[in-house]
Amino acid sequence: MKFYLHRVILISFLLLILQPGYAQLKAYQFEQLDSLQKKEARPVVVFIHTDWCKYCAAMQNTTFKNKEVISTLNERFYFIDLDAEEKRTITMLGSTFKFKPTGNNTGIHELAEQLGRINGEVSYPTLSFLNSNYEITFQYPQFINAADLLTILNKL
């Protein structure tokens, strides 16, 4: 009986893992980009969000869980998940970006500000699309569903 139960658990676990469509979005850090671009030049997608943004959470739970979105991003782009309130210092292209406090327990990371600012403001969520030279080619400052994101990704 014990052997049978272990076998059922093992088979169930393997079926869960090996299910078609079980995919995970590969996210990179800014510090990895230089070495990644040397191996294979790709555009970069930066998802700028905060913990308190309900539309950001909706994108994380729907758009970025879509199998086609995951596959496209993993195969053709470097994806970076950037919390705009990140407190750690980020070094990229020889520049250092830090968290800038704007009040008690509030602030914005300089890199989120640089990559997410549109008409002088940053809104959440924002997707910033960069070419392999890290130049902003397109920005999308609102929630986007999987189908619309795939349209944009396929045009880039």
Residue 5 CA, distance from chain mean position: 39
Cis peptide before 125 (omega within 30 of 0): yes
- What pLDDT is stored for residue 149 in this prediction? 97
Tens of pLDDT, residue by residue over 87-102, are 999 998 888 999 999 8
Q: Give DSSP secondary structure letters for 72-98.
A: HHHHH-EEEEEETT--S-EEETTEEE-
| pTM (2 d.p.) | 0.83
3 or 113, greater pLDDT: 113
Please state the three-class secondary structure of 100-151 as a single string: EEEECCEEEEHHHHHHHCECCECCCCEEEEECCCCCEEEEECCCCCHHHHHH
The stretch 54-62 carries a mean pLDDT of: 97
pLDDT higher than threshold 70 for residue 5: no
The stretch 48-69 carries a mean pLDDT of: 97
